[in-house]
Amino acid sequence: MVHYGHSNQLRQAKAMGDYLIVGVHTDSEIAKHKGPPVFTQAERYKMVRAIKWVDEVVEGAPYVTTLETLDKYNCDFCVHGDDITLTVDGKDTYEEVKKSGRYRECKRTQGVSTTDLVGRMLLMTKAHHSNIDSSDYQQHTDNFGKGHSPWTGVSQFLQTSQKIIQFASGQEPQPGDTIIYVAGAFDLFHIGHVDFLEAVHKLAEKPYIIVGLHFDQEVNRYKGKNYPIMNVHERTLSVLACRYVSEVVIGAPFAVTKDLIDHFKEPRRIGILRTVDSGNSLTTDAIVQRIIKNRLLFEARNQKKEAKEIAVIQAMKRKEEEKTKERPQAVLQKGPKTSTIN
């Protein structure tokens, strides 16, 4: 998937240099090393291009990053999160560039991962909010929430004001800007949302797009089941990371009122509503159906991924213990006692 955790890593990476090139793997590479992808490669290429810190996308990037790849695209160094990424046979995909000193690390966003989101989508097929003692719920919780590995497992995202500031553009509408307001859930921010916002962006020469996000309770009211899958804080970062968005209203009302329009100094006239066709039929529900359809594959993916990570952690611990044993021990030796007669 492409989610706000990736966006946050790309934001940090861009701050380390001047020009950010992002390599995106093919479906076959991901299936080989990690398991079935949730978004198709075409969807991921476009999703990454829509992230505002990205300058260029390399389609079909190799899964193992080599010096040859960095040199091919004139990159000084590469950046990855402080979690580990492994090949199908358990090897570090960044081993070569790490040894050469052309590797940098950024902080992983705690509380979100593709594994986590897939787990949420599988869990939502059960009444897990009320029937938490059921064996089905417990089985899926065990599959996705153990968290033996620090990089895998369901955890809770904690929003901070600093994170919102880091994602926000901080730009006010300028004279001549056309202020456009759109609203919705924007749950599991996906290519359908991107295509819609891009279409809205093309409506004006100088658009200033404000996205209203409905609170979780409101989304649950009109979507039902256990939606939204992402809470309003997560949806805020997802939308703010999009290059077509200028501002976000957190907890926007379901109905667009006169007061809301006046707040953004929009023209007070009737007939300002437009319907925009994104040209894309993908929905959040359709993504959930992809997960449900391949439930066993995704469960196996998550368990296999965590097993590999635990093996690496144990190997790292053993290596550290061996280094500790090999360190020379300083021994204080006492010399023979002597006495002096004056």
Under the banding of pLDDT at 50, 70 and 90, the label for residue 157 is low
DSSP 72: H
pLDDT of residue 328: 62
Distance of alpha carbon 298 from alpha carbon 122, whole angstroms: 9
pLDDT of residue 159: 77
pLDDT of residue 341: 39
Question: Do residues 210 and 180 make contact, with C-beta atoms less than 8 angstroms apart?
Answer: yes
Under the banding of pLDDT at 50, 70 and 90, the label for residue 309 is low
On the question of pLDDT at 135 being above 70, the answer is: no
Contacts of residue 155, Cβ cutoff 8 Å, sequence gap at least 6: 110, 111, 116, 147
According to the per-residue pLDDT averaged within each range, which of 172-181, 200-209, 304-313 is highest? Answer: 200-209
On the question of pLDDT at 75 being above 70, the answer is: yes
On the question of pLDDT at 285 being above 80, the answer is: yes
Question: Do residues 37 and 44 make contact, with C-beta atoms less than 8 angstroms apart?
Answer: yes
Distance of alpha carbon 82 from alpha carbon 62, whole angstroms: 20
Distance of alpha carbon 202 from alpha carbon 193, whole angstroms: 14
Lowest-pLDDT range of 100-104, 195-199, 202-206, 265-269: 265-269
Residue 50 corresponds to which tokens in the numbers above?
């829509």
Under the banding of pLDDT at 50, 70 and 90, the label for residue 193 is very high
**Of all helices (H) and strands (E), which one includes residue 4?**
helix 4-15
pLDDT of residue 311: 72
Under the banding of pLDDT at 50, 70 and 90, the label for residue 301 is low
Under the banding of pLDDT at 50, 70 and 90, the label for residue 326 is confident
Dihedral over Cα of 60, 65, 68, 74: its sign: positive
What amino acid occupies position 172? E
Question: Do residues 235 and 227 make contact, with C-beta atoms less than 8 angstroms apart?
Answer: no
Question: Do residues 303 and 144 make contact, with C-beta atoms less than 8 angstroms apart?
Answer: no
Closest CA to 254 of 180, 184, 181: 184
250-266 pLDDT, tens digit per residue, is 999 888 777 766 666 54
The pTM is what? 0.75
Using the CB atoms, write b or e for 267-290: b if 16+ within 10 Å: eeeeeeeeebebebebebeebbeb
For the segment 28-54, the average pLDDT, to the nearest whole number, is: 93
On the question of pLDDT at 126 being above 60, the answer is: no
On the question of pLDDT at 168 being above 60, the answer is: yes
According to the per-residue pLDDT averaged within each range, which of 43-57, 85-99, 248-262 is highest? Answer: 43-57
DSSP 290: H
For the segment 81-108, the average pLDDT, to the nearest whole number, is: 85
On the question of pLDDT at 269 being above 80, the answer is: no
On the question of pLDDT at 27 being above 90, the answer is: yes
Q: In this prediction, what percent of the chain has a pLDDT beyond 70?
A: 77
Question: Do residues 129 and 139 make contact, with C-beta atoms less than 8 angstroms apart?
Answer: no
Under the banding of pLDDT at 50, 70 and 90, the label for residue 178 is very high
20 or 158, greater pLDDT: 20
pLDDT of residue 87: 73
What amino acid occupies position 303? Q
